[in-house]
Amino acid sequence: MSTPVFDSTANPPLKFASVSQLSAEKVKGQRALVRVDFNVPLKEGKVSNDQRIRAALPTLKHLLSLGTRVILMSHLGRPKGQAQEAFRLKPVGDYLAGLLGVEVLSLNDCIGSEVEEAIAASSAPVVMLENTRFYKQETENDPAFSQQLARLGDFYVNDAFGTAHRAHASTVGVATLLPAYAGLLMEKELSALGGLIEDPVHPFVAIIGGAKVSSKLAVLENLLPQVEALIIGGAMAFTFLAAQGVNVGKSLTEPDLFPTALDLLSKAEKMGKQIILPRDTVMATGVDATAAETTVDLHTPDRDITELIGVDIGPLSVERIQTVLSDAKTILWNGPMGVFENPPFAKGTEAVAQMVAKITRQGAQSVVGGGDSVAAVEKLGLGDQFTHVSTGGGASLEFLEGQELPGVAVLKAQKDK
């Protein structure tokens, strides 16, 4: 099955320089200092999920085809400014070598004369620098640290959209010191997500889930003017329901946000937008329960739910979502419908994933973002049936909130120079 292609024809011209615009004549023989997001899980010293590595392959292969040497920067885990064996990048470098089919030289540091000498002495086409977060100066965007990194390249490429919301030395500092370009993954992320915000194909439906309204409120407010419908699932839906006086048992709510939730519902009504909340919910004694206790119609509960919590959307809600999505031409999905990591409570999330994949196959454009949603899609083997699966995590969330990402802003600023 072919992967859907995101239609970016309605999007404005790129606001930043991209490696897609580079030619071998311009960069052959130069060193491309590339920020990638290789913050991948390791199990017993080996890569256990390679999605982020594979996502960067088009950029790396393109740069190699132009005759450049590729010098890679990344972080791994949270070493808090100290070198830690568990967070070394050599296992990632070794894994990458297998994917690229070329030698990858993994170094035990990311700055300094020994690093510079090792790069100069080696003929390896790809060099994996050590974890940049072994230095606290990385997260501080320290100018001197940025200068030491910049000495390792002739031009800079940011292909780490997942870290673009961080103003770090490897995402911002270096970009001010070298000619700076977006990688192909960065370009793809900004095209797909930017298209949703700037000029989506209508009808546009957003499905937003997760635990707390507070973590997604800015996304909801920023998307409301763009969409025809907002479908809200996960525990965050209970705040909206409880604010309306619906009995949600012991389900997670944020009472301090009841007025905000009601205000958003009122705004949607005035704008002629739909906000779709769960009609029924699967309830259990806790998120770790091994089975559901009952499925409850929230508007006409037929039993006492005082001691139960909602853990998934029910079949009536799934049916309602299917109806709303049936005419959609653009779909954004960010956040699960329930406690999907617990198999008994994953049915709602899985149903949404299958629905969106089917509608995409029928010609709609779909973007899925957020770690939990992406994990659900990958678990079901549906990744290639969405138009775009974002690697961004927190970065995609901030982008959808309408925030300017530091790692993107600096690329735009460099183009304007």
**CA–CA separation, 74 vs 128, rounded Å?**
8
**CA–CA separation, 365 vs 204, rounded Å?**
9
Helix (H) or strand (E) holding 148: helix 143-150
Q: How many helices (H) and strands (E) does the chain have?
A: 15, 17
**CA–CA separation, 99 vs 91, rounded Å?**
13
Q: How many CB atoms lie within 10 A of CB 255?
A: 9
Q: Which residues are catalytic?
A: 52, 212, 371, 394
**CA–CA separation, 15 vs 408, rounded Å?**
10
| CB of 105 closer than 8 Å to CB of 117 | no
| CB of 159 closer than 8 Å to CB of 34 | yes
Write the secondary structure of 188-221 as one string of H (helix), E (strand) and C (coil): HHHHHHHHHHHCCCCCEEEEECCCCHHHHHHHHH
